[in-house]
Amino acid sequence: QRVAFHESGHALISEICFPGSVSTVTVVPRSKTLGFIRQKESVAPVLQTESYLKKQLCVLLAGGAAEELVFGERSTGAANDYQRAVEIAENIIAHGLSRLGIINMNYVDNRELSLVSGEIIEESRAKVADTLAGQQAVLNAVAEILAERERISGEEFRRILHN
């Protein structure tokens, strides 16, 4: 059931940030994952804006945030999501899109990098937590169906979201 809420969180935030993006949501284990959302083929913009990167961050953080909302704590199942979130936050900093502005990364110490990337991640996590709390009925409905059937198509997911 935890995996169903985790994947429902990813799907819900993906669809809010990138409408029409969810192709499939599943809790069928595959490779090293216990579940996943498949997003429709889309080409990431060559020039990525701060808002685009922060939306990507939100999608990554949504699984753990959904777990925290429902179960009161996150699990280690979100570890890969968090690693990727740190990479995106560091990318935001490296490209001059953070509060540090345009900088030479060679002169940013690891402590400062960690602090600023943590701020970026926390800002996105708080936004995701608020969004999921406001959409908990949808989150619950999707997770319930996933727990029962193990898979939901993007079309069915959007019907649930918009009803």
Q: What is the DSSP letter of 25?
A: E
As a whole number of angstroms, the distance between CA 70 and CA 88 comes to 26
**What CATH number did the domain enclosing 12 receive?**
1.20.58.760
Q: How many domains does the chain have?
A: 1
Q: State the pLDDT at residue 38.
A: 54
Residue 128 φ/ψ region, left for φ over 0, alpha for ψ in the -120 to 50 degree band, beta for the rest: alpha
Task: Please give the chain's pLDDT, 163 residues, in tens.
Answer: 889 999 999 999 999 999 998 988 888 665 555 555 555 556 566 788 999 999 999 999 999 999 999 999 999 888 899 999 999 999 999 999 999 999 999 998 999 999 999 999 999 999 999 999 999 999 999 999 998 998 999 999 999 998 8
**N-term to C-term CA, the chain:** 23
Q: State the pLDDT at residue 28.
A: 67
> Which residues are known to be catalytic?
7
What 3-state class would DSSP assign to 9? helix
Contacts of 128 (CB under 8 A, 6+ apart): 9, 13, 58, 61, 62, 65
Q: State the pLDDT at residue 49.
A: 93
Q: State the pLDDT at residue 1.
A: 85
Give the pTM: 0.88
Q: State the pLDDT at residue 40.
A: 54
Where in the sequence is the domain holding 14, given as residue range(s)? 2-162
Closest CA to 90 of 124, 123, 128, 118: 118
